[in-house]
Amino acid sequence: MIPVNETKRRQMGVRTRWLMSGALVVLLLAVPAWAVAPGITYPQLPTDLTPPSYDYGEAESCAGCHYIAEGSLPGLDHTSRVLGVWLQPAAAVNASCTTGPSASIATGEPYACCTGAGTGTCGDMWQLTGSGWFASRHSQSDYASTENGFCTKCHAPLQASASASFSGGTVNAGPVPQQRFQAVTCASCHPPDNITAEIGALNPDAIDGGAIAIYLWKGYNNPASYQTLPPASSGVNADGTSKEDALCLNCHEQRHNFTPGTVMYAMMTTTHNHLTTPSGPVRCMDCHMSTYQSIGGGSTGLPLLEERFHDWNVGADLPYSCGAIGSVSNCHNSSFSKFTVADAQNLIPFIKEQHSDWWTLPPFNGVVQAAVPAHGAPTLVEFKVLEREISKIDAM
């Protein structure tokens, strides 16, 4: 189930589509350790979720094989939320009908199965949540110029060629192997379960047993295609940053424009950070794929699974992404700082624009503040002044 506050803030991105007739029976040949018994019925996704120029078959098949139906263990269908869809029960669909075969409260889109206000003959329907992979830039990474075996190394990894190169301003690669673009799909970071087992056996210390790894374009059913990552306990670079960030930096080649060696850089990205427990690097995923809930545990008898956003949208994922009040991490809800969502929204431009004239940015807009340098990464003391000033202005 999607958290209530998250559902409300994402309503604008919601669209409802027809559930295609029938269902696809999928044997759960490769399941997460906490999944239910094999042999599930996976309601097939509507074909109109995929834009005509894209092929989302790989991403949809992951959600299909790992689908966990609602029932005695509600809310465990993590992969559907990661994809960005959820199955709206027939009762809820029919209750949303406002008139005869015309419209629903949820989206205003026509439902031919509606028969009147709050009544209809509709079945279960898939709904886009407005979050997850479908809502991310990773699912829309085709820029025409990227449709070759070299650029796809980042823009559609499963369609890339390991031997493709770029030299002297020329791309040495053929067109993508398929006409339709796959984008940055699940297997770009998550090997198939059978391959995870193989690379986990070869690298026992790999993070998450090899379930998270960097894809190297040699075929996603090839263990040699994946570069595993070390566990957090030993995954620290010489400069104190997290080795786990290589998963992102393999394509996103630069970090935020903090100046290495400064106190601010140490606070945000290295082992000197005092806001995490135990003290360690702030990873890319801590903000860009923040934890918003945990599933399993308790009466389910299943291990507790930390669930992270997969839309890579820091602004949309507040308060979780910035650790503000109401988040899971509470990075900025401590004795060091207490940030509201508004505070976090007003801090984001300063992280993006380290060399701008800070006091011209919202929420200040000319309001007199304490003096903080407008150029270069601030010291820790100066950053704390900035935090306090943002909170003060927001409270006016």
Ranges 68-82, 119-133, 163-177: which has the least confidence: 68-82
CA dist 107 and 12 (Å) reads 9
pLDDT band at 377 (very low <50, low <70, confident <90, very high): low
Task: Mark residue 221 as left, alpha or beta (left: phi above 0; alpha: psi -120 to 50; beta: remaining).
Answer: alpha
**b/e map 247-259, b = 16+ CB within 10 Å:** bbebeeeeeeebe
CA dist 81 and 20 (Å) reads 19
The predicted-structure confidence for 156-177, as pLDDT tens digits, reads as follows 999 999 999 988 778 889 998 7
pLDDT band at 105 (very low <50, low <70, confident <90, very high): very low
CA dist 126 and 48 (Å) reads 11
Q: What is the mean pLDDT of residues 207-223?
A: 91
Vertex 235: Cα angle to 231 and 239 (nearest 5) = 170
The predicted-structure confidence for 291-308, as pLDDT tens digits, reads as follows 999 988 887 777 888 899
Question: Residue 155: enclosing H or E segment and its boundaries?
Answer: helix 152-155
The predicted-structure confidence for 130-166, as pLDDT tens digits, reads as follows 889 999 999 999 998 899 999 999 999 999 999 999 8
What letter represents residue 359's amino acid? W
Residue-wise DSSP of 181-232 = B--S-GGGTS--HHHHHHHHHH-TTSGGGGTSEEE-SS-TT-GGGEEE---T
